[in-house]
Amino acid sequence: MRAANHLRGGVAVAEDQGPYGHLPVLLERCVNLLAPALTKNGPDGAQAVLVDATLGAGGHSEQFLEQFPALRVIGLDRDPSALQIAGDRLARFGDRFTAVRTRYDGIPDALAECGLSATRSIDGVLFDLGVSSMQLDRTERGFSYSADAPLDMRMDPDLPLSAADILNTYDKRELTAILREYGEERFASRIAAQVVRRRQVKPFSTTAELVELLYEAIPAPARRTGGHPAKRTFQALRVAVNAELDSLRAALPAALDAVSVGGRVVVMAYQSLEDRIVKSEFAEATASRTPPGLPIELPGHEPEFVSVTRGAERADADEIEQNPRAAAVRLRAVQRATERGGL
């Protein structure tokens, strides 16, 4: 969940990706989508507030603050390392930038902390979901299967449960459910059974131990297709450790409630589980509230939001060539058209 670029599964970070180890995904498109909402009172973003709900290294926020010199940005992140990096990067913008340590479903409390209402008080929200390259770069965090490291995977180091805790304490049924639901891993039951057997000899503590087991558990023909055999298991454990999908389900309604008329919410998702949640939430927000079967739209029952993208947008070939991590992105955006109840 980060302004830093995303990897699906821990591909090593290229060294030519800028001073903060990343190129923000779909940066120009995000600016263009949010600009109409941020410039309602002037081209400089006067009186406008943007919430960067996945601050990361601050790449997206930096661009918005530079392009709209009167804009205020509130950046959210649960990772204290990200907050420090972004805070140093964006310090030159003074009080136009405020960082808040929270998950992105903490939007209402973050707004209250900044003296704003949780409803109809801001002009835009940006989500850049997933694990950031900044986190993957730091092998000690355990997000990547490309280097041996402690099996941690906590975006917030204060969380009580690590990936190792899950592997070493959950029973076979619970492990199977996590791998199947969050990783869409077709060998979930087989992997879970081997995890339970292996940990009886020696508890899991490193990423290399898990990768070794996965090479043994997944049949050779399946390992030859679909990317690295550890990709889905690492994704599943990361999602479980950080409660990412539950957080997203709570964060999207909060973001929609927070924007005023003309305000926009832009979401970039990188895996199908996230995108399904975004698609469903946006479909509900853009649906008419007129009872089915009536020939006309009842006054006051118009959709609260309208789509400003046609389905999910993808990165084009040029962006993917410059930044391969953009290949998986799916971007959706909506704009508030009316107050709730048509008021």
Lookup result for tokens 């690590």: 162
Residues 143-172 as b/e (b if ≥16 CB within 10 A, e otherwise) read: bbbbeebebbbbbeeeeeebbbbbbbebee
The domain locations on the chain are 27-134+244-342, 140-242
Give mean pLDDT, residues 58-80.
97
Of all residues in the chain, what percent carry a pLDDT higher than 90? Answer: 78
The tens digit of pLDDT for each residue in 274-288 reads 999 999 999 999 998
Per-residue pLDDT, 68 = 98
Where do runs of H (alpha helix) occur along 286-339? 317-322
Instruction: Give the Å distances, CA to CA, from 240 to 105, 165, 298.
Output: 16, 11, 43
Q: Between these two residues, 45 and 10, which has the higher pLDDT value?
A: 45
Neighbours of 69 (CB within 10 A): 12
Q: How far apart are CA 174 and CA 236, in angstroms?
A: 12
Q: Is 58 annotated as a binding residue?
A: yes
Q: Do domains 27-134+244-342 and 140-242 have the same CATH topology?
A: no
Query: Is there a contact between 107 and 255 (Cβ–Cβ < 8 Å)?
Result: yes
The reply, when asked if residue 215 is annotated as ligand binding, is no
Mean pLDDT, the chain, whole residue set? 89
- Find out whether 77 is annotated in a ligand binding site: yes
**By the 8 A CB rule, do 263 and 124 touch?**
yes
Q: What is the pLDDT of residues 213-230, one digit of tens each?
A: 999 999 998 888 777 899
Q: Does domain 27-134+244-342 have CATH number 3.40.50.150?
A: yes
60 in a known ligand binding site: yes
Q: pLDDT per residue over 286-304, tens digit each?
A: 998 777 777 777 777 789 9
Task: Report how far apart, in Å, the C-alpha atoms of 211 and of each of 191, 203, 214, 229 are.
Answer: 11, 14, 5, 8
Average pLDDT over residues 92-99: 98
Q: Is 75 part of any known ligand binding site?
A: no
CATH match for 140-242 among 1.10.150.170, 3.40.50.620, 3.10.180.10, 1.10.287.70: 1.10.150.170
